Amino acid sequence: MKILHVTAEYFPYIKAGGLADMVASLSKAQADEHSVYVALPLVKNLGKEPNWTGKTYTCYDPNGLSAISSASKHLREAQFREAKEGNCLLYFFESPFFSSKEFIYETGEEQYHFALFSYACHFLAEQVRADVLHAHDWHTAITVALQLYNPKPIPSVFTIHNLAYQGDFPYWKVGFLTEEPFHLVPSAFDHDGKCNFLKAGIVACDQLTTVSPGYKIETLQEPGGFGLSYILQKKGNRYLGILNGIDSDVWNPNSDPYLKTKFSSHNWKQGKTAAKKELYSKIGRPQISLNRPLLGLIGRLTYQKGYPSYVRAYQERRHLPFFHLALGAGDSELEQTFFHLSHTEPEQFYFYRGYSEELSHLIEAASDFFLMPSLFEPCGLNQMYSQVYGTVPIVSRVGGLKDTVFESGIHAQTGFVFEPNDSDSLGYALERAHTLYLSDKHDIVVKNMMSLDWSWTSPKKQYIQIYQNAISEKI
Ligand code: ADP
């Protein structure tokens, strides 16, 4: 099967969050058996230099584009540059609108930039003769919407990675959609008086997915649907939640290039202690005892991630001996709170503001526990990375977190679960984690976690089935 993924993020080239990891690892897993193409924007600061093949592709049909709109002119100025990544072929959309961007999501005319990219992807799908088009999130939804008016529509799958980001714009900002080459009717994608790109992808796609079964259920009711539950319900059995897999070449303590001492389930204690030592020396806190439990946190500092309840629990449970280590950037008030703790309580708390792949691997390896207090979480990846690194996740009972972390019940214990937005419940989970740390059961929980299989083997089969469903709808 020829599969074209269309995405704004792709690890390690462009990454803001889990979308990058998901598309990169899914496409890599699919490329074992299928022809996989990935279209992504070419931004200024790529995380890695692409392995260019020298081939280029146009972004418009010269016979079909008569000429005068700005979008037509901008598509003429753009091109796709092909590169090889493992068994996948990547198509970088080269346009001045992206090549000047330091970061993929900058404020500005994002609706126009991503619509141009989406149109170009629609034409690329025809050039590579894709059997199926798989678009991710609102940035690429217009590629799917264009299939509504395509005389030979390409079967399409649309994946929602986070309903909190919908790409909704006042009509005066999307007038270009009515012109050449789009010829779309923005009011067809109306939600609350705005043109909603995510809704366009949802209504237009043949098959819709999101990134965990638990999150799918939450999105079918408000407030989990962020206002779109009514339209999601209409998709019926054409809407499925498929849990993300992880890339075990990137996230594997036994081969992780960021770790000096690799480890597996046989020698995790030595491996994690070595990582802790290295981490403490790297952050300038070598005096912190290696015997104290380390609690790691990594993430975008946004409303979604629920950190305020963590800060309350931290202040209420000072008797617990955790050393807290947070990595992230975002909301300035939260950054200031974390900075304040880092400076005033250096024996308890350390905060690194920014983005660091290296530090994120080291934190996963060194931590004894990893906290994710999200208010909602479509899938979440760090809880799974934690488990394979022998780091016990402590998570709120939401979305993909509750699908992957179990504290009690029929499943073997693989973490701790508490109620979202509840500092008492979170604090009590920290108490239970500390008790585990002191007991022999810690070894059992680590063994349980390190034997979990979060590979793409099963989810990639589900995606192929979805693609086949999309194809058969078009026959
Ligand atoms: P989201 O997509 O909502 O940000 P996920 O848990 O799905 O959340 O994925 C987040 C990904 O981004 C993980 O791979 C995480 O390690 C990474 N990440 C987030 N913030 C940082 C950071 N400051 N430095 C390094 N990696 C980060």
Q: How confident is the model over 332-348, as a mean pLDDT?
A: 97
Find out whether the beta carbon of 164 lies less than 6 Å from any atom of ligand 1: no
Q: Does position 434 have pLDDT exceeding 90, yes or no?
A: yes
Give the nearest ligand 1 atom to 21 CA.
14
Kindly give the number of the ligand 1 atom that is closest to the alpha carbon of 372. Answer: 6
Quick one: which atom of ligand 1 is closest to the CA of 379? Answer: 7
Quick: pLDDT tens for 218-267.
999 999 999 999 999 999 999 999 999 999 999 999 999 999 999 999 99
What's the confidence (pLDDT) of residue 23?
98
Indicate if the pLDDT at residue 68 is higher than 80: no
pLDDT at 107: 78
Question: How far is ligand 1, taken at its centre, from the CA of residue 380, in Å?
Answer: 8
Q: What is the mean pLDDT of residues 426-431?
A: 98
> 376 CA distance to ligand 1 centroid (A)?
15
- Residue nearest ligand 1's atom 12 by CA: 17
Quick one: pLDDT band at residue 475, thresholds 50, 70, 90? confident
Q: pLDDT tens-digit profile of 27-56?
A: 999 999 999 999 999 999 999 999 999 999
What's the DSSP call for residue 5? Answer: E
Residue with the bigger pLDDT between 30 and 65: it is: 30
> Pairing state of beta strands 156-160 and 132-136?
parallel
- Find the 58 Cα to ligand 1 centroid distance in Å: 33
Q: Which of 283, 355, 388 to mutate to test the pocket of ligand 1 (most atoms within 8 A of CB)?
A: 355
Q: Ligand 1 centroid vs 205 CA: distance in angstroms?
A: 27
Across 128-152, average pLDDT: 96
Judged against a pLDDT cut of 80, whether residue 65 lies above it is answered with: no
Share of the chain above pLDDT 90, in %: 94
- Taking the C-alpha atoms of residue 120 and residue 124, their distance in angstroms, rounded to an integer, is 6
Q: What is the pLDDT of residue 67?
A: 63
Tens digit of pLDDT for each residue in 157-209?
A: 999 999 999 999 999 999 999 998 999 999 999 999 999 999 999 999 999 99
Of the two residues 66 and 380, the one the predictor is more confident about is 380
Alpha helices for 1-158 (secondary structure H): 18-30, 70-77, 96-99, 110-127, 141-145
Q: Is 299 in the pocket of ligand 1 (CB under 6 A)?
A: yes
Q: Is the pLDDT of residue 290 over 70?
A: yes
Give the CA-trace dihedral at 430, 399, 264, 85, to 10 degrees.
Answer: -140
Q: Is the CB of 329 under 6 A from ligand 1?
A: yes
Higher pLDDT among residues 188 and 69, named by residue: 188
Task: Calculate how far, in angstroms, residue 18's C-alpha sits from the geometric centre of ligand 1.
Answer: 6
372 CB within 6 A, ligand 1: no
Cβ(141)–Cβ(118) under 8 Å?
Answer: yes
For the chain, the average pLDDT equals: 96
- Which of 135, 138, 139 is CA-nearest to residue 147? 135
* pLDDT for res 128: 96
Tell me what pLDDT residue 66 has.
Answer: 61
Does pTM surpass 0.85? yes
Nearest CA to ligand 1 atom 4: 17
Q: Residue 410: pLDDT above 90?
A: no
